[in-house]
Structure 1
Amino acid sequence: MKRLSGWDAILLYSETPNVHMHTLKLAVIQLDDRNRPGGAAPFGVEQLRTVLGSRLYKLEPFRYELIDIPFRFHHPMWRENAEVDLEYHVRSYRVDPPGGRRQLDEAVGRIASTPLDRRRPLWEMYLIEGLAGDRIAVLGKIHHALADGVASANLLARGMDLQDGSNAEQDCYETDPAPSRGELVRSAFVDHLRQIARLPSVVRYTAQGVRRVRRSPHKLSPELTRPFTPPPSFMNHMIDATRRFATATLALDDVKQTGRHLGVTINDMVLAISAGALRKLLLRYDGRADHPLLASVPISFDFSPERISGNYFTGVLVGLPVDSEAPLERVRAAHIAAAAGKESNNLIGPELVSRWSAYLPPAPAEAMFRWLSTKDGQNKVMNIPISNVPGPRERARVGGALVTELYSVGPLTTGSGLNITVWSYVDQLNISVLADGKTLEDPHELTDAMVDAFIEIRSAAGLSKELTIVESAMAP
């Protein structure tokens, strides 16, 4: 048994009937004989269950079962070695014909529209069949309380053959007995005493951050000063339970080349591309784009390659320059805003929110998030989350079959009907967009606009508008 951290618990408490807190990981897999030496048998749901079953001993979060504490006395606990019913957790799904990118994205949206069952380990996996070009896809649906982006990437690597097609592992873990009510209450009481003992160090950490901010010659940008109120927009409202999903792929070398030419990072490029695309949609749906949006950009403070669970990140508020008409001005403004956001985060202390979250009482926290999810208004902290996570650098395999593409997207949060998540994979920069049913009828509007925004930046920088063609699962 182990206690959920305060940050993990917040991601659990913030889940409501219309705000689902699972993340999605999508792998597109090539099944033709070129990628299956020896002409292996077709890969089906039973084979996927066998692959996962042989590796459950090293995929610890997939064995975690949520245990609530009597009387809501403390944050829940993970029973670390619970029984896993692979017949339940691993399922098959068939896309609509002709099995192209849009049909796959629509299937992912439908799967994402239902929450995970908290009576079981908080994950599901789908073998998606019916894709064009002798391909399948594997979709992982994992609760955010289990893992952040860095941990998910490491967990994904453990679940795949990164070196060869060998599948000789054997599942050897043993299940743990369920704890008694008395054990849970005693453990909660002891943990509370530990938290009280740590409180002086949390207060000291906070005071040190406040002093650094006061002494710094740099001040927060106007967009990030109190009261942190983002401008209203078409994407900010009470979201519904429907989820719509869309993807697009850029060549990582094209993005790197553009960034080097302009003297900015890949993360700056992602923010500038997002700003250009969102400006286009703001003009279409709101008729104006005259104020920067506020983006929450997750930044991890634990990059350990061995970490496969837990949440060790903070959300940095960055002013997104949707009000800039010129593409290169958006790049420059995104670079400045990102640097200011990171500096402010480092000054105040990247672990500030994470440390204080341990003291948030469960019952009031859940009640607050339920109340917020029913309010038909905008998110009062930010407009949209935008993530950029480095994914695997090597080609992966599942049961010997080659993974050609990887996509990931985080959840929608209260009052924010869009999420943009970018994962790199070998030579690809893979864009994923998640929307609710009220915000966009077709989220490919945003992915298409992001590709167009990147072309605009390259053109304005004097680079070729022709993009490198990377291997893609299906035509749109």
Structure 2
Amino acid sequence: MTTTDRLSPLDSSFLHLENEFAHMHIGSTSIFEGPPPPFEDVRALVESKLIDIPRYRQVVRFVPMDLGRPVWADDRHFNLEFHVRHTALPLPGGREELRRLVARIMSQQLDRSRPLWEMWVVEGLEDGHWALISKVHHAMVDGVSGAELLSTVLDISPDATIAKAAEWAPRSSPSNIELATDAVAQLVKSPYEQVRALRAAGRVPRQAIEQLKEVGAGLSSLAGILSATPESTLNGPIGPHRRYVWTSVSVDDIKTVRAALGGTFNDVVLATITRGFRSLLRARDESTDRVVRTLVPVSVRPRNDGEVAAGDGTMANKVSAMFAELPVMLDDPGDALAAVSEQMADLKESKQAVAGEALTSMADFAPPMLLALGERVAARAAQRNVNTVTTNVPGPQLPLYSLGRRMLEIFPFVPLAGQVRVGVAMFSYYGTVYFGITGDYDTCEDIGVLSDGIEAGMEDLLHLARAAS
């Protein structure tokens, strides 16, 4: 076992957050043109790709007495048939039947004794289409690396063939004694490594000072989330079951709004979501004289010339967060977009995401057994002051294929945890932004109102943009 096999503080936090009601896996539902391929071919395709994603054949091993963070270890009993599954929709095989299936699959917690992922091949969709439902634990992958994973499993050419699966032999798994011994060694070693890193930073004091200024500014901004938001049905205890709906908007429509009304691509998307939550609150006879506070995950992966750098093969989480306040009190869509744009510019200037990343990194200082407890307490405290989560991941803007069939649509899935009953995930693919909306089954029977509100918000902004032009 090497130290590189140990989960990062952020990755391990997703395991600590999980319980019988909060299942911390992300996922997606991809719809393909037909006819469906033979299931054996899909399984052979996945098997041929496993050499590029070693985490898919590894399990999480917990260190005795929480002396250290969990580690990844090869699964000696890995069985691909358990992870790649086959099912079909009941007639008529429409969108509603598929969404119910996705909700049921996502309501089931992943088995921690096995590698933390599943894929479901779904036949019986209308128009001869078929679907691929993927489900991956958040401890293994974040949204951006999830997009990289999608590109790994699929192909950019309809003519790609199935390669022969490479031979694989699992490495020996460490014993509990070895796990504990290594963890104790890391406890001794880690402070030294941190001091060494600080000394190295001291050799470039100007850069270090600038980084500290950014973190300080971000911490000051993060303090704002300590204030509680008004009570709402958006928050409260959740159960283990989920509801799931989706919608989509055109990338060209978003660009049209940007050109006429200003703001960034993400600002326009958040403005449509603002309209969605305004519609949902009004449908529930709740006051909209307030804001809806949302956690917005932000990628902190290295960038080259403004683009996310190529994946490093680890699939580890490299995300931080900002906390935005959706102005649901504003009825005019143009005013809402302007308010969102101004706020997001201020949040970026405040370096909230930088501070969040710094706090996560500082977790290396804490003894893991205390860190595990602290993460649970901090998560509960933060989620009492956050109404929802909205995550937006840029995906490939070229068509992707699986076994010669083109992927037509892809709808993301975001988990719920703590007191958050509704979450919105977005994924852009080939000219369209796809929204996947997760709701608690017991309290969010009406999340279709949120989906319809997002569509209406886009139409309202387009109307204003065309009038302005």
TM-score by length of 1: 0.87
CA contact (8 A) 1:7 1:358 kept: no
1:282/1:348 CA distance change after superposition, 3 Å = same
Equivalent in the alignment of 2:23: 20
Which of 49-58 and 187-196 deviates more?
187-196
Q: Does 1:192 find its partner at 2:187? A: yes
Q: CA distance change for structure 1 residues 169 and 411 in 2, over 3 Å: closer, same or farther?
A: same
Pairwise CA distance, 1:370: 6.8
What is the deviation of 1:62? 1.0
Q: Determine the C-alpha separation between the residues in 1 that align with 2:100 and 2:144.
A: 26
1:11 corresponds to which residue? 14
2:23 counterpart of 1:29: no
Q: Which residue of structure 1 lines up, in the alignment, with residue 459 of structure 2?
A: 455
Distance in 2 separating the partners of 1:334 and 1:423: 20
* Structure 1 letter corresponding to 2:119: M
Match in the other structure for 2:204: none
Q: Partners in 2 of 1:78 and 1:347 — Cα distance?
A: 27
| Contact persistence 2:391–2:425 (CA under 8 A) | yes
Aligned to 1:446: 450
Where does the alignment leave 5 or more consecutive residues of structure 2 unmatched? 202-206, 302-307
* 1:239 is the counterpart of 2:243: no
2:401 to 392, 397, 403: 397
Shifted more, 59-68 versus 105-114: the winner is: 59-68
CA–CA separation in structure 2 for the residues paired with 1:345 and 1:391: 25
In structure 2, the residue matched to 1:412 is 416
The residue aligned with 1:336 is 342
Taking a change above 3 Å as real, the CA distance of residues 100 and 430 of structure 1, as seen in their structure-2 partners, is same
User: 1:116 is aligned with what amino acid?
Assistant: L
- Give 1:112's match in structure 2, choosing from 106, 110, 131: 106
How far the C-alpha of 1:198 sits from its partner, in A, is: 4.1
Q: Distance in 1 between matches of 2:149 and 2:138?
A: 13
Residues 43-81 of structure 1: per-residue CA shift (max 9 Å, x gap):
143222111111111122212211111222111000156
5 Å-filtered alignment, 1:55-454, equals: 55-80=49-74, 83-163=77-157, 164-200=159-195, 211-212=213-214, 220=221, 225=224, 227-302=226-301, 303-308=308-313, 309-345=315-351, 349=355, 351-363=357-369, 379-454=383-458
The alignment-based identity, stated in percent, is 27
Distance change in 2, residues 1:206/1:107 (3 Å) = farther
**SS at 2:389's partner residue?**
strand
Q: Deviations over 1:127-149 (max 9, x none)?
A: 11211011111111100000001
Tell me, yes or no, if the aligned pair for 1:238 and 1:378 is still in contact at 8 Å: no
Measured at CA, do residues 304 and 214 of structure 1 come closer, stay the same or move farther in structure 2, by a change above 3 Å? closer
Judged with a 3 Å threshold, the aligned counterparts in structure 2 of structure 1 residues 371 and 55 are, in CA distance, closer, same or farther, namely: same
Q: RMSD over aligned Cα, in angstroms?
A: 2.8
Q: Which amino acid aligns with 2:294?
A: A
Q: Offset of 1:361 from its aligned partner?
A: 4.8
In the TM superposition, what is the alpha-carbon distance from 1:434 to its structure 2 partner?
0.6
Provide the rounded CA distance (Å) in 1 between the counterparts of 2:290 and 2:346. Answer: 18
| Cα distance in 2, alignment partners of residues 207 and 349 from structure 1 | 14
CA distance in 2, matches of 1:206, 1:102: 53
Conserved in 2, the CA contact under 8 Å of 1:232 and 1:378? no
Deviates more, 1:156-165 or 1:133-142: 156-165
Cα contact 1:210–1:348 (8 A) shared by 2 = no
Cα distance in 2 between the residues matched to 1:19 and 1:187: 30
Q: Retained in 2: the 8 A contact 1:81–1:175?
A: yes
User: Contact 2:84/2:121 (CA < 8 Å) preserved in 1?
Assistant: yes
Does 107-116 or 377-386 show the bigger shift?
A: 377-386
Q: Which moved more, 1:6-15 or 1:83-92?
A: 83-92
Secondary structure, counterpart of 2:127 in structure 1: coil
- The alpha-carbon distance between structure 1 residues 435 and 170, as it changes in their structure 2 partners (threshold 3 A), is same
Structure 1 residues not aligned, in runs of 5+: 33-41, 465-476
Distance 2:223 2:331 in 1: 21
Alignment match, 1:474: none
Measured after TM superposition, the shift of residue 444 of structure 1 is 2.3
Verify the 8 A CA contact 2:400 2:406 in the aligned structure 1: yes
Moved more, 233-242 or 358-367: 358-367
- The number of residues matched between the two structures is 450
Greater helix share, 1 or 2? Answer: 2
1:430-466 deviations in Å (ceiling 9; x for gaps): 11101111331143222121101111111233359xx
Q: Which moved more, 1:168-177 or 1:443-452?
A: 168-177
